[in-house]
Structure 1
């Protein structure tokens, strides 16, 4: 994976006094006009800092919500300005349509935020006219929004073909981490994939079985694979219409030399609620009327053993119904072991996806993984082996 970085542009003397259009992710949660989680803002700080230090004028391009090409004041980026200024530690100007004069008034090292790019219908249409209008006020293009890289939009893809393009620090870190995880990983490679339904991750599983040596399947997805083996999963969440599909994936894995790890024992309950009466049973012994809600200790020990023999791990999804105790135990214990191996320098661990990030935070190990992606859909599509338009555009710009 080849792409230019801020370092490449700085070394070539291309940033000083130039206007850089930086696509960033400011689609942050807002309640009562206040940003409640600044994580995505914090991730753009290194890029803005380094561009300013190099003497560039920084124009921030971002979307907020889904206004569908129409102006919607409830989705205006004005409401994130106070938090953005605090996070960046500098003044941030704002422009709503008057791009040319606003940028001309910006001093070297200055920062300006343009209004929600999705207010313009040309954004999601990847319209060349809208992209050219933006490009006319800039000298260079920087993509620092991996989370939007799976969209072929004007500010994520088209601009990269109109101006010299390079990756920001967050994008660079993401691509380098993903390259280590599945692009050119150190084997053996393990993948942990969990979640409620096989149907939502068919492409993911199909791609992974040909690229990893060990595939750990957890959550409700595992129940479907167990049922495909003829095991009675009782009242557990299970997609009985996908049993043939599960068998096909298992056969594909066997042909590719990929070992699938399913639960050996499970924690079951009669209802899904906090701290109900539970039993730990072998997967063949789930009582009638009970449901599987977590992997058991023997299953966790097996996962820990496999991870100890791997050099690379990619993780997407929990092993059980982690949102509610005590069904978070398997996910927490496996994640803590992965974190321990990572801290010891024995494992490169990359994880992503909303439930995954929440589970790792709950386990207290998110900071110990090699890299945690907050990209959501883009991370999943990358794991599925799909080409991300925003990334492909950067690769094309690198020659």
Structure 2
């Protein structure tokens, strides 16, 4: 496995030794730890282990060859084993040696149960959703979400847009957003996406009231205003209560919901209400029989913070991976597996 971003060289801060120690406390079999993932330090530990015991190899990213998907390094990893199982959905969008490269030298290459579950939920939602199908997209930047919006326009009934990216869409609609987050170069793109959604008969919902603040801090002065009254020197940091109700109603009427990205600066309690309202609407939709999928990353953190993770259909373990899957991209960690 990898841990963190040690930049291709050993760094004790990112060692998997604590992971091996923790695993040893969870299972009834002996867990060995190898101080490297290839070479003598790895092979000696593997050869000394008895059948049925577990060997945890050191962080693969201690070698720069891992992220380069180096062929020789992939081959060295493959020499340790007879079968390869990928259960790391959160890394499956990366063409790295331990994710994809190793499968060139090690077959069969199978999916673990978590990876299978992730792909099933995402595949069913995108390819054969029960309708109405609602996608909720938030987060800071429009640029991060353009491919997924373009991909979803042909698949969904409603797209809900919140978070920092919403302000670029508002400006594209002729609104003033004060000091709110804005990607000016993306205004034409936002206009184009709104036109495409309209043409496809997709209901694209934008926030229409906001919690604004005179400073980017939890203790700032705050007001709730509508879209025509965002003050010039204030910034919007969350969707407002009326928007939360409208978004919630659309979510609760859905049969399939995918959520990726918060509605505001949810890390600050003062600006978490919109995100929490969306999380609660997803829980309600689930109770009404909808399939609800949280697309990893900040959305997973947000629903966890709200204490609602166990009340939706599926919380993805992969932010980037789930986003790329929704964009229609192939995931190297999945396409490299042996065909069933």
TM over 0.5: yes
Task: Identify which of 289, 313, 316 aligns with 1:370.
Answer: 313
Say if 1:207 and 1:383, in contact at 8 Å, map to a contact too.
yes
Matched position secondary structure for 1:64: coil
Say if 1:135 and 1:163, in contact at 8 Å, map to a contact too.
no
Q: How far has the Cα of 1:224 moved from its partner? A: 0.9
TM-score (norm 1): 0.78
Residue 398 of structure 1 is matched in structure 2 by 339
CA distance, structure 2, for counterparts of residue 294 and residue 352 of structure 1: 20
Residue 138 of structure 2 is matched in structure 1 by 194
Shift in CA distance, 107/216, structure 1 to aligned 2, threshold 3 Å:
same
Task: Identify which of 3, 6, 22 aligns with 1:83.
Answer: 22
Say if 2:24 and 2:30, in contact at 8 Å, map to a contact too.
yes
Shift in CA distance, 170/229, structure 1 to aligned 2, threshold 3 Å:
same
Q: How does 1:241-256 map to 2 (within 5 A)?
A: 241-256=185-200
Residue 127 of structure 1 is matched in structure 2 by 70
- Residue 326 in structure 1 maps to residue 267 in structure 2: no
In the TM superposition, structure 1's runs of 4+ consecutive aligned residues that sit over 4 Å from their partners are none
Residue 166 of structure 2 is matched in structure 1 by 222
Shift in CA distance, 69/263, structure 1 to aligned 2, threshold 3 Å:
closer
Deviations 1:31-50 (A, max 9, x none): xxxxxxxxxxxxxxxxxxxx
Q: How far has the Cα of 1:225 moved from its partner? A: 0.5
Q: How does 1:1-399 map to 2 (within 5 A)?
A: 62-95=1-34, 96=36, 97-98=39-40, 99-161=42-104, 162-344=106-288, 346-394=289-337, 397-399=338-340
Deviations 1:13-67 (A, max 9, x none): xxxxxxxxxxxxxxxxxxxxxxxxxxxxxxxxxxxxxxxxxxxxxxxxx122333
Q: How far has the Cα of 1:253 moved from its partner? A: 1.4
CA distance, structure 2, for counterparts of residue 116 and residue 224 of structure 1: 40
Q: Which moved more, 1:249-258 or 1:138-147?
A: 249-258
Say if 2:121 and 2:314, in contact at 8 Å, map to a contact too.
yes
Q: How far has the Cα of 1:140 moved from its partner? A: 0.9
Deviations 1:194-251 (A, max 9, x none): 1122122222222222221111100111111011110111222222232111101111
Q: How far has the Cα of 1:263 moved from its partner? A: 0.9
Matched position secondary structure for 1:249: helix
How many residue pairs get aligned? The number is 335
Matched position secondary structure for 2:315: strand
Shift in CA distance, 120/293, structure 1 to aligned 2, threshold 3 Å:
closer
Q: How far has the Cα of 1:255 moved from its partner? A: 2.1
Q: How far has the Cα of 1:319 moved from its partner? A: 1.1
CA distance, structure 2, for counterparts of residue 195 and residue 124 of structure 1: 27
Shift in CA distance, 208/112, structure 1 to aligned 2, threshold 3 Å:
same
Shift in CA distance, 193/89, structure 1 to aligned 2, threshold 3 Å:
farther
Say if 2:168 and 2:187, in contact at 8 Å, map to a contact too.
yes
CA distance, structure 1, for counterparts of residue 83 and residue 172 of structure 2: 53
Shift in CA distance, 89/263, structure 1 to aligned 2, threshold 3 Å:
farther
CA distance, structure 1, for counterparts of residue 178 and residue 65 of structure 2: 51
Q: How far has the Cα of 1:101 moved from its partner? A: 4.5
RMSD: 2.0
Q: Give structure 2 stretches of 5+ with no counterpart.
A: none
Shift in CA distance, 311/129, structure 1 to aligned 2, threshold 3 Å:
same
Q: How far has the Cα of 1:316 moved from its partner? A: 0.8
Q: Give structure 1 stretches of 5+ with no counterpart.
A: 1-61
Say if 1:181 and 1:349, in contact at 8 Å, map to a contact too.
no
Shift in CA distance, 73/323, structure 1 to aligned 2, threshold 3 Å:
closer
Q: How far has the Cα of 1:100 moved from its partner? A: 4.1
CA distance, structure 2, for counterparts of residue 329 and residue 371 of structure 1: 22
Deviations 1:87-146 (A, max 9, x none): 345421122333444334333321111122223343223233222233233211100111
